[in-house]
Amino acid sequence: MARELVLVIEDDADIRELARYNLAREGYRVIEAVSGEEGLELARKQVPDIVLLDLMLPNMDGLEVCKRIRSEDEASGISIVMVTAKGEESDIVAGLEVGADDYIAKPFSPRVLIARVRAVLRRTGQTVAAENDVLKVHNLVIHPARHEVLMDGKPIELTATEFRVLQYLARRPGWVRTRYQIVDAVHGEEYPVSDRSVDVQIAGLRKKLGQNGKLIETVHGVGYRFKE
């Protein structure tokens, strides 16, 4: 049974109880907060494995809570799943940009909740390869030091930017990356390029990957992810 600690930050008592009951039934330890301020204090003191964070909180909203968690050394590694109202694309993008790992749209079913929590904990629990380690995912082998990609043992010719985009996405399969996150990872922050240029790079990558192009999935209105 799972014994990870989950912090639920939610001001709606019914949703908070729904989350608490179903998480506890799956074996997770659960602590609760009804405000962003209270949630931030609990995150600092108890350092949970994952936070289920409502974005629409009074006073300090979920985006600000997420920013503060990510800015603090002891709590910065906590996984964060944000809860958005009606799956608003702008909310999803904003949450991912400030460091959330995934999202759930209200209303959500207990099965979706548990599946998302498990998936995020599984991904963050995996050892992230060092920058120069060979990355093997699906039938692709990515050699960072050689700047080489092999598909079924055969090399694929990629531009420098296409290589960096592929490497960035492939290192965290299943993680949704916004266009701005991809630009920052590939070119560095404040790089003067349109986020829509990422679409051009993705199109080029998909074409060169052939049948494997479908491994790069579009998350409409948000960005892209590499198939898990």
Domain range annotation of the chain: 5-125, 135-226
Could you tell me which CATH class the domain 5-125 is placed in?
alpha beta
Q: Taking 80 as the threshold, does the pLDDT of residue 92 lie above it?
A: yes
Q: What's the Cα-to-Cα distance from 59 to each of 36, 37, 55, rounded to whole Å?
A: 8, 8, 11
Phi/psi zone of residue 86: left (φ > 0), alpha (ψ -120 to 50 degrees), beta? left
What pLDDT shows up at residue 193? 53
| pLDDT confidence bin for 37, thresholds 50/70/90 | very high
Could you tell me the pTM of the whole model?
0.67
Nearest Cα residue to 161 out of 190, 140, 188, 122: 188
Beta-strand relationship, 148-151 and 154-156: antiparallel
What is the mean predicted confidence (pLDDT) over 170-194? 76
User: What percent of the chain clears pLDDT 70, i.e. is strictly above it?
Assistant: 90
Average pLDDT, the chain: 86
**183 within 8 A of 170, measured Cβ to Cβ:** no
Least confident window among 37-41, 78-82, 197-201: 197-201
- Regarding predicted confidence, which is higher, 128 or 224? 224
pLDDT digits (tens, 9 = 90+) for 98-139: 888 888 888 899 999 999 898 888 776 654 444 557 888 889
Least confident window among 3-7, 110-114, 124-128, 219-223: 124-128
Domain 135-226 coded CATH 3.40.50.1100: no
